Chains A and B, each alone.
Chain A
Amino acid sequence: MTGSMINRRLLGLLRKESLQILRDPSSIAIAFVLPVVLLLLFGYGVSLDSKHVPIGIVVEQPGAETASFVAAFRQSVYFEPRIYRSLQAGRAALRERRVDGILVLAADFAQRLKGDRDAPIQVIVNGVDANSARLLEGYVQGVWSIWLQRELEARQIPVSVPVEAQTRIWFNPELASRNYLVPGLLVVNMTLVGALLTALVLAREWERGTLEALMVTPVTIGEILIGKLLPYFVLGMGGMVLSVVMALFLFEVPMRGSFWVLAVCSTLFLLSALGMGLLISIVTRNQFVAGMIAILATFLPAFLLSGFLFDIGSMPVVVQVLTHVVAARYFVAILQTLFLAGDVWSLILPNAAALVLMAAFFLGLSRRRLRKRIE
């Protein structure tokens, strides 16, 4: 067998697989339409930045002091204050979810403010959505402290501030959640294209018996694997390029790392995702089960256990250990750093090494399982 023959066979296979993809609009749809739709949906739909939060301010006794307080909230982009004249009305609004929280300025607020006594402002938030409630508390505190400073200056009341903090937020000073969510979304997208597409399409070939038909031809297992994987690899990378372009130009996420690192890491991740999809299809050989397992084993972990949305460090130890077998975890860490921080080698190299291991594991195992099944 000469080298050129192997190449010819491989080329033939590649041609056949590419034609198969091109003639089946549903694969093209998964590879290109799905990422675009998902990225648009996620990019616009998933945001943790609250603006114009409806908040009730209960003003029992209007006066100059309460007016300046309300004005401070009106000026803030974070709030849309509604005024209630009694505590009952404010509490009813909170209960009926018309406002997310209420601030109570008691009747003696102005007097207390002028006198020596402490003037407490009661804040009640709806805690059902705990994260939003916590962010809301922070926003209230921010508006309150600005108002207080202005108020004290205007009245020339000297107040001792023992400690003052200068806070600086690196990489994402305006704290736009989009900047950290979009790199994570690219990973979810790639997982879908890589694993779901491969698992579904190959499982269908098993069901129809066309893969067995291929086995009896002189092509080797390695050639079949390359022939199957390469076209999907090209599709996946195409989807990735499309997603990166959208991230940079539509969502305006900064890119501080280098593109060649992005390309290398994407290749590694895509290989492991394809390997996983391949393995799923080889083990199940059934479209329904392959689809369910692909969603369960690839999409959901990429969403939940990758650190894309939820902080891995805060999970219970058992779940944290589990995240180490999720390839998406390493890719999310790489992408968030590449986009927002730059080429931080001490972080990128270990994560890339993990991706190499996972790709080798899945592809190697698929190859072994494939050979076994034919004997």
Chain B
Amino acid sequence: MFARILALSIKEFLALFKDKRSRFVVVIPPLIQLLVFGYAASFDLNHIPYAVYDRDGGYAARDLLARFSGAPSFEQAQPVVHQGQIADRINVRDVLFVIQIDPRFTADLVAGRTGQVQVLIDGRNSNSAQIVQNYVGRILNDFNRNWVAAHGGQGMPVTLVTRAWYNPNLESRWFFVSGLVGLLTLVVTIMVTALSVAREREQGTFDQLLVTPLRPVEILIGKAMPGLVIGVLEASLVVALAVLWFGVPLVGDLSVLYSGILLFVFAAVGVGLMISSLAATLQQALLGAFLFLVPAVILSGFATPIANMPPAVQMLTLIDPLRYYLVILRSVFLEGGGFDLLFDQMWPLALIALATLGAAGWLFRHRMA
């Protein structure tokens, strides 16, 4: 039995790698994706262009504005010189926000009154706008505290002291790169397995395979082999690059990480083989893979939190294997999560793997094109 499975596995690997272009497609694109994704996918704003409309010119205004120009994420553009310019500058996206200082600003502050500033933010990208709003709020709070300390007055009796666990500088790159391990494992595993049965069906060789002494279980194992091996290797490669190239900390245990990787790759292979045995042609298999991949990525919490989705959509995410895998990856990478914490994520993966592999094996025999 093992000799037969081995022979079939070797045949599957050869089928995949004999063509120069499919070899290329399996290896190179994921690496390019990792590099481009790794650098492009970030919600951090580090060059926020802004303009100043200083109608006061006093020393308090200069003091406040110095805090803006000194902030590492802000980049000052040409100042605004009259009211009408503000709209133009924001409209063409020359600046993300304009800060306007009231003409009596310094006089008010010196007299102990509250000085007014106006902050106008481009809301077209709501996420950036919200981040800018928070940054500006923090700068003003700091300024207020300093001013009260230096010039007297009753300061705020309560202050907030914020700390972030696991990712003290709140670098969203850590979040995305650890998520990429999951995304790329999924894409490669699905592409490799989804085409394997469909290609043979289109060429008619699958029927030949069915009449050999191989039992369906053996065909299933043989067909699953390339996906399993390539999926685990791909995941290892991406993990290595994430740690060595992007410098994402790997706090947790490798045994936990690899348990997660193995379970997930099994589930992904199951989904891929299921798509493949449902499809009659290569084109259908490709479309099927695509129709699975896009929702699987969107509903996994890769870029936007699952908790923000409506309840019905959240239910749908429960059958998405990537959802569980991302939690495992991020937890092992950043939180150092162990088996006790991640058991809740692992058993659904095992269940999905069993269900999809079983369905694929059944479909081999029962779906005849």
Contact = CB atoms under 8 A, between A and B. Distances in A.
A7 interface: no
Nearest to A301: B36
Contacts, number: 319
A162 interface: yes
A128 interface: yes
Contact of B161 (A50, A122, A135, A172): A122
Given A163-B144, A164-B116, A169-B123, A132 B159 contact: no
B239 interface: no
Contacts of B128: 311
Contact of A311 (B125, B168, B313): B125
Given A130-B170, A131-B172, A167-B136, A315 B40 contact: yes
Interface string B32-65: 1100110111111111110000000000000010
A125 B165 contact: yes
Nearest to A163: B115
Contact of A314 (B45, B112, B156, B191): B45
B160 interface: yes
A118 B114 contact: no
B166 interface: yes
B309 A45 contact: yes
A179 B109 CA distance: 39
Contact of B124 (A124, A180, A315): A180
Contact of B129 (A119, A141, A172, A337): A172
Interface stretch (A223-231, A272-280, A302-310): A302-310
B205 interface: no
Given A48-B127, A51-B308, A169-B121, A133 B134 contact: no
A44 B310 contact: yes
Contact of A113 (B117, B148, B153, B157): B157
A38 B293 CA distance: 12
B175 interface: yes
Interface in A298-337: 300, 304-305, 309-311, 313-316, 318-319, 322, 333, 336-337
Interface stretch (B217-225, B259-267, B295-303, B356-364): B295-303
Contacts of A133: 164, 167, 170
Given A169-B121, A304-B40, A47 B304 contact: yes
Interface in A38-62: 38, 41-42, 44-53
A44 B40 contact: no
A346 to B, nearest CB: 5
B126 interface: yes
B21 A286 contact: yes
Given A121-B159, A165-B140, A175 B126 contact: yes
Contact of A138 (B88, B120, B134): B134
**Most interface-central of A122, A144, A170, A337 (chain B CB within 10 A):** A170
Interface stretch (A212-220, A234-242, A287-295, A367-375): A287-295
**Chain B interface category by residue count:** 35 or more
Interface stretch (B4-12, B207-215, B283-291, B346-354): B283-291
B158 A128 contact: no
Contact of B157 (A53, A118, A169, A172): A118
Nearest to A188: B294
A88 interface: no
Nearest to A200: B283
B83 interface: no
B313 A44 contact: yes
A175 B305 CA distance: 17
Contact of A162 (B147, B307, B330): B147
Given A48-B308, A135-B130, A163-B64, A41 B165 contact: no
Given A169-B121, A172-B124, A175-B130, A137 B162 contact: yes
A96 interface: yes
Given A119-B157, A138-B134, A129 B120 contact: no
A165 B157 contact: no
Contacts of B200: none
B299 A45 contact: yes
Nearest to B297: A303
A37 to B, nearest CB: 8
A318 B335 CA distance: 32
A26 interface: yes
Contacts of A126: 164-166
A130 B171 contact: yes
Given A45-B313, A165-B140, A309-B303, A130 B126 contact: no
Contacts of A95: 335, 341
Contacts of A134: 43, 131, 134, 170
A294 to B, nearest CB: 10
Contact of A175 (B29, B43, B129, B140): B129
B90 A170 contact: yes
Interface stretch (A152-160, A261-269, A358-366): A152-160
Contact of A123 (B33, B92, B162): B162
A344 interface: yes
Contacts of B172: 129-131
A125 B129 contact: no
A168 B157 contact: no
A169 B154 CA distance: 31
B22 interface: yes
Contacts of B121: 167-170
Contacts of B334: 127-128
A127 B166 contact: yes
A114 to B, nearest CB: 9
Q: Which 10 A-B pairs have the closest CB atoms?
A: A127-B167, A127-B164, A172-B123, A160-B153, A131-B43, A138-B134, A130-B172, A169-B123, A130-B170, A162-B147
Given A29-B287, A165-B116, 4 more contacts: A44-B310, A122-B163, A131-B127, A134-B134
Interface of B: 21-22, 25, 29, 32-33, 36-37, 39-49, 64, 88, 90-93, 109, 112, 114-131, 133-134, 136-138, 140, 143-144, 147-148, 151, 153-168, 170-172, 174-175, 191, 195, 282-284, 286-287, 290-291, 294-295, 298-299, 303-305, 307-310, 313, 330-331, 334-335, 341
Interface of A: 26, 29-30, 34, 37-38, 41-42, 44-53, 94-97, 112-113, 118-135, 137-138, 140-141, 144, 148, 152, 157-173, 175-177, 179-180, 196, 200, 204, 284, 286-289, 291-292, 295-296, 300, 304-305, 309-311, 313-316, 318-319, 322, 333, 336-337, 340-341, 344, 346-347
23 contacts: A26-B284, A37-B291, A44-B313, A120-B160, A121-B160, A121-B161, A128-B167, A128-B334, A132-B305, A134-B43, A141-B134, A159-B156, A160-B155, A164-B117, A167-B119, A168-B119, A172-B123, A288-B22, A292-B29, A309-B303, A314-B47, A316-B39, A319-B40
